[in-house]
Structure 1
Amino acid sequence: MTAMARAENKVEAGGTAHLVAALAKALREQQKLTQEELGKRIGYTASAISAMETCAQPASDKMLVGLEEQIGGGLGVFDKARKFILLDKYPPQFKNFALMEAEAVTLSSYQTFVIDGLFQTPEYAGALIAGGYPKLSDEKAEELVEARNARRSLFDRKDPAPMIELILEESVLQRPFGNWETLRAQLRSLAEDAERDNVTIQVLPIDRGLRGTHAGAEGPMKLVETKEHHRVVYLEMGEESLLVSDPVKVALLSHRYAKIRSQALSPDDSLILIRKLAGEERT
Structure 2
Amino acid sequence: MDLEAAVIALQGYETLRIPGLLQTEAYVRALLNAHHPPLDDETIELRVAARLERQHMLTARPTTYFGFGFGFGFGFVFGEIALRCPVGGPEMMREQCERLLELGASRNVDIEVMPTSQGAHAGINGPTVLLESPDHQHYAYEEGQSMSVLHADSETVSKLTQRFGVIRMQALNAEESARLIREVADQW
TM-score with structure 1 length normalisation? Answer: 0.61
Q: CA deviation at 1:217?
A: 1.9
Between the aligned partners of 2:167 and 2:125, the Cα distance in structure 1 is 11
Between the aligned partners of 1:102 and 1:173, the Cα distance in structure 2 is 26
Partner of residue 35 from structure 2, selected from 127, 132, 140: 132
Between the aligned partners of 1:249 and 1:277, the Cα distance in structure 2 is 36
Between the aligned partners of 1:228 and 1:258, the Cα distance in structure 2 is 22
Report if aligned partners of 2:25, 2:52 keep a CA contact under 8 Å in 1.
yes
What residue number does 1:272 align with?
179
Do structure 1's residue 119 and structure 2's residue 17 form an aligned pair? no
Between the aligned partners of 1:153 and 1:223, the Cα distance in structure 2 is 18
Between the aligned partners of 1:183 and 1:206, the Cα distance in structure 2 is 18
Between the aligned partners of 1:127 and 1:191, the Cα distance in structure 2 is 20
More strand by share: 2
Between the aligned partners of 1:158 and 1:184, the Cα distance in structure 2 is 27
More helix by share: 1
Between the aligned partners of 2:98 and 2:146, the Cα distance in structure 1 is 29
Between the aligned partners of 1:160 and 1:197, the Cα distance in structure 2 is 9
Do structure 1's residue 102 and structure 2's residue 9 form an aligned pair? no
Between the aligned partners of 1:158 and 1:273, the Cα distance in structure 2 is 27
What residue number does 1:35 align with?
none
Structure 2 regions of 5+ residues with no counterpart? 66-72
Partner of residue 171 from structure 1, selected from 81, 89, 96: 81
What residue number does 1:232 align with?
139
Q: Counterpart amino acid of 2:154?
A: P
The within-5 A match list for 1:184-263 is 184-209=94-119, 214-263=121-170
What residue number does 1:151 align with?
54
Between the aligned partners of 1:158 and 1:200, the Cα distance in structure 2 is 14
Report if aligned partners of 2:15, 2:124 keep a CA contact under 8 Å in 1.
no
Structure 1 regions of 5+ residues with no counterpart? 1-97
What residue number does 1:33 align with?
none
Q: CA deviation at 1:180?
A: 1.4
Identity level (%): 35
Between the aligned partners of 1:121 and 1:230, the Cα distance in structure 2 is 30
Q: Counterpart amino acid of 1:126?
A: R
- Could you give the per-residue CA deviations for residues 49-72 of structure 1, whole angstroms, max 9, x where no partner exists? xxxxxxxxxxxxxxxxxxxxxxxx
For the aligned residues, what is the CA RMSD? 1.4
Q: CA deviation at 1:161?
A: 2.9
Between the aligned partners of 2:40 and 2:155, the Cα distance in structure 1 is 42
Q: CA deviation at 1:169?
A: 0.7
Between the aligned partners of 1:159 and 1:185, the Cα distance in structure 2 is 23
- Could you give the per-residue CA deviations for residues 133-189 of structure 1, whole angstroms, max 9, x where no partner exists? 010111211111111111111112348535000001111110111211111111110
- Could you give the per-residue CA deviations for residues 165-222 of structure 1, whole angstroms, max 9, x where no partner exists? 000111111011121111111111011000000000111110112xxx5111221100
Q: Counterpart amino acid of 2:3?
A: M
Q: Counterpart amino acid of 1:276?
A: E
Q: Counterpart amino acid of 1:164?
A: F
Q: Give 1 or 2 for the bigger CA radius of gyration.
A: 1
SS at match of 1:168: strand
Between the aligned partners of 1:114 and 1:142, the Cα distance in structure 2 is 20
SS at match of 1:207: helix
